[in-house]
Amino acid sequence: MNITNICCIGAGYVGGPTMSVIAQQCPDIRVTIVDINEARIAAWNSDDLSELPVYEPGLAGVVAEARGRNLFFSTDVDRAIDEAQMVFISVNTPTKTYGKGRGMAADLKYIELCARQIAAVAKDDKIIVEKSTLPVRTADALKSILHNTGNGVNFHILSNPEFLAEGTAVADLHNPDRVLIGGEHPEAVEALVSIYGRWVDRSRILTTNLWSSELSKLTANAFLAQRVSSINAISELCEKTGANVDEVARAIGTDSRIGPKFLKASVGFGGSCFQKDILNLVYIARSYGLQEVADYWEQVIIMNDHQKRRFADNIVQTLYNTVSGKKIVFYGWAFKKDTNDTRESAAIYVADALLAEEAEITVYDPKVPAGQVYRDLDYLGTRSPEENRRLVTVVGDPYEAAGDAHAIAVLTEWDEFRTYDWKRIREHMMKPAFVFDGRKILAANKLDQIGFQYYEVGAG
Ligand code: UDX
Ligand code: ADP
């Protein structure tokens, strides 16, 4: 099978960067990314590359190289499906907010809509690729919908989960640790292998059966999140005992069996994947009656919620047990640096806890616009949109943000925070001036010298 025309349904944080890199690496393949969200497609087509809907280092360059050559963004979903030999499904699979499995299971309604649309439009055989993270055996549901259309078209289903991390998406796509392709039909698998094979060494392209591929994605995210919760659990013990969690992380990370990565204690993990995928894993385990397996993984989430909560509690306690009417500045709102994505960001939950104590919050984030901060808080439904706008201010200048503040809380590890003139920041703050470093990125000694009361996660 020689693939010359690909379509991807869903132009989000996964579909956008992934397909842009495929187009960049395969100039002879026409790649069309479609989405029902017109504003999003317009932004992907914007002449001003700083307007792209996803911020990722290096992404604008990739889009500039391929867009209009063999990379296209469109809202004409039917046409793109019709013309493609291979259709990637990269739509959102959020946690269900209603009915059975509410708050745990993945909501597959967007996936099912895609399958039905493909079934309705397709006139010739196609390879369908699951790119979104999905519960194990979703491919069964896809197969069932696609194969029961009665129009004689054959569909081969592949699972090709994406392991890129936001903030390093382009580098991860250019040089992945591995590409995983699950499928039953050897020719279909080979068709996708040969696409990645243009720039990824074959030894790094793993092929498995469909179910292993689906489950591996959930398992990878669960293991990664578990490491963060493990080191965060130790961080609380460090604060009580005078140990420093960075030193502990270094000491254990040099053991080659443990390894040094993903041992950075923090205010808690966020992002669209970790919580959603673990909840999904827990739900699947429970649905098979595997209570101990479910409880085991659920603890990773319980620990993460605790870490966010105790960061907020520590701010309240340290500020003499009241933050009512006090201005607290958040440096960072995104769930990690180098992205404008705020989904499940720890900042949202820390803000919610402090607002419950009647704090006034001023937010500065280099990439997150004010509208997103308010949408995130409104979505929680804890207080009215008017109340959120009254209590929370979003500013575009970090120094202006600090004026008359009682405390600064670092919620995202943006590099620029390290380079600020912290002496100047302190001058305009209330005294004593507090810094709560939820990312452990500032120099404790330097801030002490300047006169800050400096607190960091995982240090006594
Ligand atoms: C993750 C997986 O890494 C990726 O393979 C998968 O495809 C999608 O989910 P992502 O959520 O984009 O990627 O970012 P990641 O770098 O994994 O960070 C997730 C969260 O954990 C962030 O909030 C980050 O700040 C936090 N984290 C990560 C820590 O607190 N400490 C660490 O040591 C590592
Ligand atoms: P992810 O992080 O998984 O990429 P996003 O929410 O960023 O998730 O992107 C998913 C995209 O899929 C959204 O832009 C959404 O509009 C799009 N989408 C969802 N359902 C459909 C559909 N049936 N047809 C086309 N696009 C869809």
What is the pLDDT at residue 444? 95
What is the pLDDT at residue 17? 98
- Going by alpha carbons, the residue nearest to atom 2 of ligand 1 is 165
Residues of the chain with pLDDT under 70: 150
Q: 111 CA to middle of ligand 2, Å? A: 9
| C-alpha to C-alpha distances, 55 to 260, 339, 367, nearest whole angstrom | 27, 6, 8
Q: 442 CA to middle of ligand 2, Å? A: 37
Tens digits of per-residue pLDDT, 244-292? 999 999 999 999 999 999 999 999 999 999 999 999 999 999 999 999 9
337: Cβ below 6 Å to ligand 1? no
333: Cβ below 6 Å to ligand 1? no
What is the pLDDT at residue 141? 86
- Going by alpha carbons, the residue nearest to atom 23 of ligand 2 is 114
What is the pLDDT at residue 139? 86
Closest atom of ligand 2 relative to the 37 alpha carbon:
16
Active centre residues (catalytic):
162, 217, 273
List for the chain the helix, strand, coil content (%; round to 5): 45, 15, 40
- Determine contact, residues 142/119, Cβ cutoff 8 Å: no
- Does 161 sit behind a cis peptide bond, omega within 30 degrees of 0 on the bond before it? no
What is the pLDDT at residue 390? 97
- Ligand with smallest separation from the Cα of 74: 2
What would the two tokens of residue 425 be?
A: 């920041």
Reference 284, options 357, 208, 363, 218; nearest CA is 218
Q: 192 CA to middle of ligand 2, Å? A: 22
What is the pLDDT at residue 434? 98
| C-alpha to C-alpha distances, 421 to 114, 194, 312, 331, nearest whole angstrom | 51, 51, 25, 14
What is the pLDDT at residue 148? 84
For a ligand 1 pocket test, name from 224, 231, 307, 456 the mutation site with the most ligand atoms within 8 angstroms of its C-beta. Answer: 224
Q: 12 CA to middle of ligand 2, Å? A: 6
| 146 burial type by CB count under 10 A (0-12 exposed, 13-18 middle, 19+ buried) | buried
- Going by alpha carbons, the residue nearest to atom 25 of ligand 1 is 336
